[in-house]
Each structure stands twice: as structure tokens, then as C-alpha cells.
Structure 1
């Protein structure tokens, strides 16, 4: 069948059948043993635009299509879920997924992707989530599209104290590459400076802490298992969330309020039995159990410990370090200096500021474990020089001096 005949045959079907048929045809064009020709790539993109996202008309004019209605979006998401879940070849699945959503600037497609990813999280759909994880890596976890997708997932699943925390925590075991790239994107959204003090929602912090603390190798997952990509594609380097999490934990003492007693208690009521059988011992007693929840400050302590364990597990026996960018750690110095300057303007001593010293202690611990385990890449000299400009802290000073002597 010629390429023109291929389009003509698809035009015989109405949506959503045409979308189902189009996926089969796209797989035939792109997922062969050899890399597709330029003409095959062009035709595949035209088919995707016209028959899957309804963005172009039958002449192929982009922007002339009516686009997807809300009902059609749901129909398409159902079709994509079924297709991705039934695809047994990882390379084929990622080839089709990246063809659908890779390098996109269309908000319509990003909306479909966001709903698809959100439904995959709800359903714990491993095949779909792994494909989204590859998309995050290839697009760049800090790209505007990836950050928008992360924000949408946070809005759908992490803002409220939802009842699905157990299911969310299990995703680290079933789709670790997705979770690692998702956390990397999420760290770009929060705890960047002291002016806004934009902190992650507590429910999100709880789940991320659980993920990292319970699985030390999670943050390295995207690097430990390279993505299966189509022939001829350029794999993007997988970034870990470790530098971002170090920033969160180090700056948390400076951002969290110190005058709030944030020890939370949760009451769990055990309901009274409605029916009592004859001769049954009366156990219909209403009790209230006080179950302590970790405060945000305590969660950051636990997350910090999880990050240190992750850094230890991230030690490489071969090849250069890939876990933590020295430049990202050095970027913390100006933020801490700004806080220290504010302390001094209030006529206080830096050595007496507990929040500042806690920040410096955590930063010193993270830097020491990172360097000792060979996790830092980039300009280490510049990192140590930046840290040397920070206020006096005994631990940090020992770390700086030790590693300056070793270079």
C-alpha cells in the first residue's frame, strides 16, 4: 500500500476507530527493524496530526482541524492506555509514545498527556507510567512541558490528604524510572529561594519522603536502566533528583516557620457494632487512638537521611560520577548568604542562629557523603570555593578543608 493510499484508507473510519487504526499504521511505519526514512517520518506525523489528534484537515493543513472534543479526548486516552498496555516491546512502545508527544509545543497534546499520565497514576498502570518516564527524560525534566505535567499530577493526586497514599507509594516499586524522573521535575518547582518560600504540599512531601527513604537506589533508577529508544534517536542524559532534594532539605530550616507547633495528631474512631448476637461478649466500645503524624520539619529530617542513604548507594565503581552536579550544589551558597545577611542586619550572631546552623550542617553532611562516594561531577573546586564563603560552621569547614587537600 502506498503512503497516499494509507491515508485514504484511514479516512474511511470515523473517530475513534480511525485513531485505533492509525496507531497500527504508525507502528508499521516507525517500528521496523531499520530506521524509518524521512518520508515515512513525515507521513507518520501527518497521520498523528489528522487521525489521532484531529489537528489538521484532509488536505494536511495544520490548524484547520476541529481538534478533539472532551468526549473524544477521553476516547483517545482509553485507546492509548489499551495500546500501550498491550505493547510487549519497550522500544516499540517508546517509539510510538515519543512520536505522539515528543518535542511538542501543542497545549492540546499536553492536556491529553496530562490526563493520560494522571489516569495511569490512579490505575497504577506500569506500561503507561514507564513510557511517561521516558518522555520526561527525553523532553528534559526541567523543561516547561515536563514542569507543567508535574504540576498537573501534583494537582490531581498530591494537594489533599488523599486516601490513595498506599497506592502512590507502591509506584516506586512498579515504575521506578518514572518516579525518579517525576521527582527530578518536582524538585524544580519548590524551595528555590527565601523570598517566596514556595514549599511542596505536605502530602507530596510525605509520599516523596516515603519513596526515597524506603528505596535508596530509586533516585538512580533512570540512570541504572537506560531507556529503550528507537533506532537513530539521541538518548538524553538522565538527571537524578538528588541535587534538588539536597536543596530542599538544606533550605527547609530557613523556610519553615519556627513559631508554629506543628505536631499533628490524627483521631481514628473505631465504630460501634450495630448488631449484637445473643450471649456475645459486649465489645461495642468506642475508642479513640492517637496516631502521631510527622510534622513537616520531621519529614525533612527523614528525607535528608534518605538522601544520604541514596548518595551512598549512588557510588560508582566504573566511569565518571553522574549523580550530583557540583554547580547545582554551589548555587545554594548565594541563597544561604542572603539569609545570613538578614540575620546580621537584625543585629544577631550567625553562630547563635539555630536555623542557619541546621541548614549548614545538612549541607555539610550532603556534600561530604556526595564527595566521599564519588557522586559529584563538574567543577568541584568551584563548589568548595562557593561553600567556603558561607558563615562559619564547624562541620562544613572540616568538609571543605578535607576535600581541598585531596584535590
Structure 2
């Protein structure tokens, strides 16, 4: 079918019916035994522009979707992905719809789609979003914008959906792994500027994800994305280096902890009895610093789980770890200005201890790739810390 015939067929339908039919036609164009031709790709992009996102009309005039139509389109895409049983087909269509993403209107639709998928724990949609994050690059501007929108919708308030959020690590681990990788790019990157800390609810959920499932951070690497024929797979980057940054820098960022919250009174209704009010046993929510301690322990377990039995290490980039050093040096420099002795400064020493522990576990388990000599040289420039000094010396001798 020629492009003109295809468009003529689809123009007989009003939105949203034309979008639903367009997805079927796009699948026929792009999915097959061989990679689609450049002509087929061009036709598919034309169909997506006019009949899915309604960016132009039949005369080429610019238009767009209104808010109601956006929701209708999201519903159609959700239904399509949920009904699609082949991962390659699903990812092919999803990446053709949202690949490139210079278009802010498309990114808005994708952000709403991802947020709704998180609310509904929609595994097919979340796995497709996880592949999109990886192919776009978890640190790309588009990925960070998407992740920020999901955080605003789900992680700023300590709401009742925490249990549902925590379950995503089991139902959509590849999405969660790539999501955390992107999230670590958003916070705690500059000690000199205003402190940008993750919301506590986000920290609680990520801590639960990582602590409860040591293999989670490797999920995107252990389960390669099923991509369209002829496409170039982007390497999956684990969130481990970013999480090591968080845990190491947390003592430098966090001020004195506020009092821990007590779990509220619960109402329990027993069978054949009137409702009664029962106070639960006193229970304390973890403070922010305690959450980072728990997350740090989860990261160390994850590094052990990230050990490769064959092939080169892929869990942590040595350069990403070395990027910690200028941040810690800047903090130490500020302390020296005020005449503080670095070896007795508790927060700095906690930070250096955590760096040492993470580096030791990562190197001992063969998780680090890249230039390890440069990493050790960078760590050697940090303020004096007994544990870190022993670890650096030990590994320098073994290289």
C-alpha cells in the first residue's frame, strides 16, 4: 500500500479511531523478518505525525492534541502495549512513537503515560519505558525530564501508594533499574550550590528497592532489551555508581536529623465486634541519615551480587567513582578555611569510610571497569582516612 492510499484509508476515521488503526498499520510496516527500509520508516513517521499525534492535518497545517485527546491516545497506547505479546514488536512501536523526542508535546504525552503506568503498575508499559530510558541514555535531558515528572507525581508526598511503588522492583525491574540510574543524576552533584536532595519518600522507596533485591541494579544488563532489527543497542548503565555518590556524600549534605516520626493510630475492626481503636506498638520511621546507611548497605550487597563469573566487569565505571573526589576535596577545603582538623571531622570521615567500603567491595568482586589506576590515584588525593589509605595501598600493589 502506498503512502497516499494508507493516508486515504486512515483519513476516513476520526480521532481516536484513526490513531488506533494507525498503530496496526505501523506494526505492519516496521515489524518483519528484515529491518524496515528507509522508505518504510519514512512512511511510518508520516503516519505517526498525522494520525497518532495529530501534528499536521491533511493540508500540512500544524495542529496538535487537546488535553482530552492526549488522554484518549494514552489509553490507546496502553491497550496496544498490554495486548502485544512480542517484546520486540512492542519496543519497535514504542521507540518509533517516542524516539528522538526533540518534540516537547510527545515528551508530555510520554510523561503522562509513564506516570499513569506507575500508578497502575502496568508492567508492559513500564518495561517499554525502561527500554526507552536506556536507548535515549539515562542521563539525557529527555530522560531526566521524564523522570522528574514521575517524581513530582508520585514521590514528593508520603502517600498510601508506597506499597505499590515498592512492588515495581519485582514486576518491572528493568524499568526500576534505569529509573534509579536517571534519578541519581538529579541530586547531590554540587556541594557549593544549594543542596538538592531527593525527597524523603523517593529515598525511602529507592532504599527499599535496593536493600530488598541485591540483583535489581543489574537488571537492565541481565535482561537485554528486545530491540528492532537493525537498531543499535545502547549499553545499560547500572545505578550503582550514582548510589555510591549519594551514600558517600550524604553525611556532608544532611544537617542534624529531625525527630523520627511515630506511626499513627490504626483503626481495627474485629469480626462481630464494634469498631475499636487500637494503638500500634511504638514504631519509629528511619531518619534521613539512617535511610542512607541502609541504602549504603544495600549498595554493598548489590556490588557483591554484581560480580561477573565470565566476561569483563560491567557494574561500575571507574571514572564515575573518581568523579566523587573533587566534591569531597571542595568540602575539605572549606573546612580547612575555618581551621578544622580533617581527621577529627566526623562527617568527612564518615564520607571517606563509605567511599573506602564501596571501592573495596567493588574491586574485590571484580565489578569495576575502566582505568582502575586512575581511580586509585584520584582517591589518593582525598584527605587522610585510615581505611581508605589501606584499601588504596593494597590495590595499588596488586595492579
TM-score by length of 2: 0.97
In structure 2, the residue matched to 1:381 is 373
String of CA shifts for 1:132-170, please: whole Å, max 9, x gaps: 000000000000000000000000000000101111111
In structure 2, the residue matched to 1:41 is 41
In structure 2, the residue matched to 1:207 is 205
Q: Which runs of 5+ in 2 are unaligned?
A: none
String of CA shifts for 1:360-387, please: whole Å, max 9, x gaps: 0000000001111111111111110110
In structure 1, the residue matched to 2:176 is 179
Matched, 1:317 2:309: yes
Q: Distance in 1 between matches of 2:370 and 2:299?
A: 20
String of CA shifts for 1:323-344, please: whole Å, max 9, x gaps: 1111111111111111111111
Match of 1:353 among 314, 324, 345: 345
CA contact (8 A) 1:265 1:290 kept: yes
Matched, 1:188 2:195: no
CA contact (8 A) 1:92 1:230 kept: yes
In structure 2, the residue matched to 1:126 is 123
In structure 1, the residue matched to 2:77 is 80
In structure 2, the residue matched to 1:280 is none
Matched, 1:292 2:289: no
Relative to structure 1, the CA distance from residue 2 to residue 285 in structure 2 (aligned partners, 3 Å threshold; closer, same or farther) is closer
CA contact (8 A) 2:265 2:277 kept: no
- Equivalent runs, 1:5-404 vs 2, <5 Å: 5-59=5-59, 61=60, 64-195=61-192, 196-258=194-256, 260-270=257-267, 284=276, 286-287=278-279, 289-404=281-396
How far apart are residue 57 of structure 1 and its match? Answer: 2.2
Q: Figure out how many residues of one structure are paired with residues of the other and give that number.
A: 398
How far apart are residue 269 of structure 1 and its match? Answer: 3.6
SS in structure 2 opposite 1:264?
A: coil
SS in structure 1 opposite 2:284?
A: strand
CA contact (8 A) 1:180 1:218 kept: yes
Q: Distance in 2 between matches of 1:272 and 1:39?
A: 65
TM-score by length of 1: 0.95
Q: Distance in 1 between matches of 2:279 and 2:175?
A: 41
Question: 4+ residue runs of structure 1 moved beyond 6 angstroms?
Answer: none
Q: Distance in 2 between matches of 1:179 and 1:192?
A: 21
SS in structure 1 opposite 2:89?
A: helix
String of CA shifts for 1:246-288, please: whole Å, max 9, x gaps: 0000000000003x43422232243689x967xxxxx946536
* CA-atom RMSD in angstroms: 1.6
How far apart are residue 5 of structure 1 and its match? Answer: 0.5
Q: Which runs of 5+ in 1 are unaligned?
A: 278-282
CA contact (8 A) 1:242 1:324 kept: yes
